[in-house]
Structure formats: C-alpha cells, structure tokens
Amino acid sequence: MNRRNFMLTSLGMASLPLWARSLPKTPNPTEMLLGMGELPLYKESIPLAKKAGKAFEKMQKAAKKEGIVLEIVSGYRSYDRQKAIWNRKYKANEAAGLSPEENIKKIIEYSTLPGTSRHHWGTEADIIDGSKPKVGDVLVAEKFHELGPYVPLKKWMDLHAHKYGFYLPYTQQPGRKGFYYEPWHYSYAPLSVSLLKSYTSLNLNEVLITEDLEGSASLNSEFISTYYEEHILGIAPELKNF
C-alpha cells in the first residue's frame, strides 16, 4: 500500500494512525485540513464551506446594491487540484531552464504546496468584480490599484469585508514574509482562525504527501520548516489570533 492510500485508509478509521497519536487533539480531521476529505460546499457559484458561503452571500448582496458584483474565481480547492497546479507550474519552469531550487522558489511566490493551501478548508475566496470584462489574467495586483478595473471592488472590500468576517491573508504589511501580496484573496476568519490552529498541531514532515509531486526531492525538512514559518504563518495578524 502506498503512503497516500495508507493515509486515507488510516484517517477513515476510528483511531488515528500511530504517528498522529502523539499530536495535540484537533477538532478537525487531518484529511480535511490537507484537502483530501469531501467538504460540503454552500453552492456551485459560491464554492465555500457552508458557514463561509452564507456569510459571503450576505456580503455579495450588500455589494450589489452599490454596483459591485462579487464573483469567486477560485474557492475550495482539493489536494489533487492543488497538486495539478503545482506540477503544471513546475514543468513550465523546468522547461524554461530553472533549477529545482529556483523552480520551487518561483512557484511559492503565489502558489502553495498541495496539502498546505488555505483553499483546502473552504474558507478562502479569490474575488473579482464580475461586472467587468475579463481580459487576460484577472488575478494580478495591478488590476486592483491605480486605474485597474477592480479598484472600486477593492475600495468597497477595504471598508466592508471585515463586517462579514472576511480578511486579506496576504497583505502589504511591512515585514510580512511568505506569499506575495494578493489583493483578491479573502479568508473567512470565523472558520479559518480555528482551522489554522488545528493545522499548526500537525507535523508537516509526517503528513505531507509528495508522491508524484514534481520537485519533491528538494522538499526536505529544512525547507518545510522555513516554508511553515514564512508562508503558512506569513499572514495578517487578524487571521492567526490564537
């Protein structure tokens, strides 16, 4: 039995696998934290966990009254989906001549290792204004600033998003490390704060599955430790208040 099948089989049993028994108790199943469970979503157009989806819909209705059409271009993302994104980017960078270390460094400017994405939790939404024409890549910071099409959206969200529980994880806060600034990415704090607390109880060197993952040979324990401190915890203070 390969490691991934062992993980999924063990996590489906009444008792946790041996490596997990020494970890602090967590109210959230490990497989869900890693994006491997079957998360019930609010609705097709709002692919978030039910509580987050309900809050988003209220925010969406409020924004619409002011001419802003909140549209989720990426919500819940499974482990397999994240792995496909990672492998596609790795192969493209490899073809461009990047070394394995350069390749991974480039990918984690914006994309996460599968099993570490906040999108696995159903609490994260990449948002644009659906009333604007979609030209090229919509998720670039320039489109949310200066003369970009999503400036009104950003101004509205800056004023109102927190009222509905949504915050930017990857801000422009000085000294923040990890993923680059993402003005489109919002997290539903009433769920994601407790999920992050549960996530931090995991031993990533034990639970991350690198089978069939491009560049896995470079993902040693030293890399994982730095990635954990800078990327997983490199978020706005409002989202790690535990």
Per-residue pLDDT, 5: 40
Per-residue pLDDT, 28: 65
- Kindly report, residue by residue over 80-115, the tens digit of the pLDDT: 999 999 999 999 999 999 999 999 999 999 999 999
User: Tokens 């480039």, residue?
Assistant: 106
Q: Is 84 left (phi over 0), alpha (psi -120 to 50) or beta?
A: alpha
135 CB-side CA count, 13 A:
7
- Kindly report, residue by residue over 4-13, the tens digit of the pLDDT: 443 433 333 3
Q: Which is higher by pLDDT, 241 or 240?
A: 240
Q: What percent of the chain has pLDDT over 90?
A: 85
129 strand-pairing partners: 70
User: Tokens 């969200």, residue?
Assistant: 157
- Kindly report, residue by residue over 50-59, the tens digit of the pLDDT: 999 999 999 9
Judge whether 191 and 237 are in contact, CB under 8 Å.
no
Judge whether 241 and 235 are in contact, CB under 8 Å.
no
Query: Could you give all domains of the chain from N- to C-terminal order, each with its CATH number?
Result: 24-239 (3.30.1380.10)
Rounded to two decimals, the pTM is: 0.87
Q: Which is higher by pLDDT, 242 or 65?
A: 65
The answer, yes or no, to whether residue 141 has pLDDT greater than 90, is: yes
Which sign does the torsion angle of CA 157, 184, 75, 199 carry? negative
- Kindly report, residue by residue over 12-23, the tens digit of the pLDDT: 333 333 323 333
Which sign does the torsion angle of CA 42, 46, 49, 51 carry? negative
Lowest-pLDDT range, 13-17, 78-82, 130-134, 178-182? 13-17
